[in-house]
Amino acid sequence: MDTLHITDVAPRDGLQNQSVHLSTEAKLGLIERLVKAGVRSVEATSFVSPKAVPQMADAGEIVPRVIARWPQLRSSVLVPNLKGLERAHAAGAQEIAVVLSATETMNRKNINMGLDEALRVSEQTLAQAHALGLRTRAYVAVAFDCPFEGETPLREVLRLAARMYAADAGEVVIADTIGSAAPGEVRRRIAALRDVVPLERLAMHLHDTRGLGAANAWAALEAGVRRFDASVGGIGGCPFAPGAAGNLATEDLVLMAERSGLPTGISLDGLLDAVDFAEVQLERPLGGRSIAWLRRQRAKRLESEESLRQRGYTQFEEEKP
């Protein structure tokens, strides 16, 4: 049956811009809840400069602990350059993601390289990772709009996606980094992208800044994409805008997919536990568009289970969404 492959990027994309510093234990606690919810793929951390992103300074500690504890979990790590790859490999990482932006300015702001250099470094990093026997992903960031340069030309996205595929990236991840895409444009861009990257190697990384994350995911689904990044609780948004504007929330994507007959293997109840945990850690309300409804459903179910328990029943199945 048609299944969705979801990579939960909360431990990396979600945490990298949080004002609250999380301990390594707390990050592992979040991953533990994702695993319990049935998530089979995560982006665990990033090997970037700790000066650029202090929250990711413990990457070298996270990776061996994740691998030892959940050997069955697919865990990728973001690396911006060869030094990042070297550190990731030394820590035992089995999969890396390079991050190439589709505009000159975004590359400069993010990784202090121009587009040409970023492309060359991404290709070298992929080649080196393959030589080391690692799995790979390649982000094409700001694939719709760039916060500095405006609309990103589609031909540039196609050129870079094709180069990442030619460099044998296991997944080419098309990222709506600032959450500005709309479903019509998603459909148009995926239709063009599938001519340069086989659909099964294409992944979509969406942000929900304008409330269109799920609609965009649906457009990508209808265009044939089955690989998605999402972040539990929609973590990744601006710390000063409560409950807003992070990645597409994993719970929204799972709810939409399952209600539409696409199994994900992920439990919504389990995701709720992860959101609860993240809220305590990050000290603010979290959750995607569906969170209030999901919590009401859970409260109702717990109430009816309690009443059944009082009448002597003990076995309960998780309710389908």
Q: Which region among 8-16, 31-39, 49-57, 302-310 touches Zn ion (by CB under 5 A)?
A: 8-16
The one-letter amino acid at 108: R
Binding partner of residue 83 among Zn ion, ligand COA, none, CB cut-off 5 to 8 Å per kind = ligand COA
Please state the closest distance from residue 291 (CB atom) to Zn ion, in A: 19
Structure token digits, residue 29: 């606690």
| Cross-strand partners of 205 | 175, 229
Binding partner of residue 53 among ligand COA, Zn ion, none, CB cut-off 5 to 8 Å per kind = ligand COA
Please state the closest distance from residue 111 (CB atom) to ligand COA, in A: 4
Binding partner of residue 84 among ligand COA, Zn ion, none, CB cut-off 5 to 8 Å per kind = ligand COA
CA separation for the pair 202, 173 (Å, rounded): 6
| CB nearer to Zn ion: pick between 13 and 95 | 13
Please state the closest distance from residue 79 (CB atom) to ligand COA, in A: 6
Please state the closest distance from residue 141 (CB atom) to ligand COA, in A: 6
| CB nearer to Zn ion: pick between 8 and 13 | 13
**Could you tell me the CA-to-CA distances from 181 to 111, 168, 194, 214, 229 in Å, in that order?**
23, 27, 18, 11, 15
| CB nearer to Zn ion: pick between 12 and 27 | 12
Residue 141 neighbours by CB distance under 10 Å:
24
- Number of helices (H), then strands (E), belonging to the chain: the values are 11, 10
CB 231 within 8 A of CB 288: no
| CB nearer to ligand COA: pick between 142 and 255 | 142
| Binding residues for ligand COA (CB under 6 A) | 16, 46-49, 52-53, 78, 80-81, 83-84, 87, 99, 110-112
For the question of residue 238 being annotated catalytic, the response is yes
CB 10 within 8 A of CB 231: yes
Among residues 127, 191, 199, 238, the one annotated as catalytic is 238
| CB nearer to ligand COA: pick between 52 and 238 | 52
CA separation for the pair 169, 134 (Å, rounded): 11
Strands 135-141 and 145-146: unpaired
Please state the closest distance from residue 278 (CB atom) to ligand COA, in A: 19
Q: Is 13 in the site for Zn ion (CB under 5 A)?
A: yes
The one-letter amino acid at 190: I
CA separation for the pair 140, 157 (Å, rounded): 7
Residues that bind Zn ion (CB under 5 A): 13
Active site residues: 238
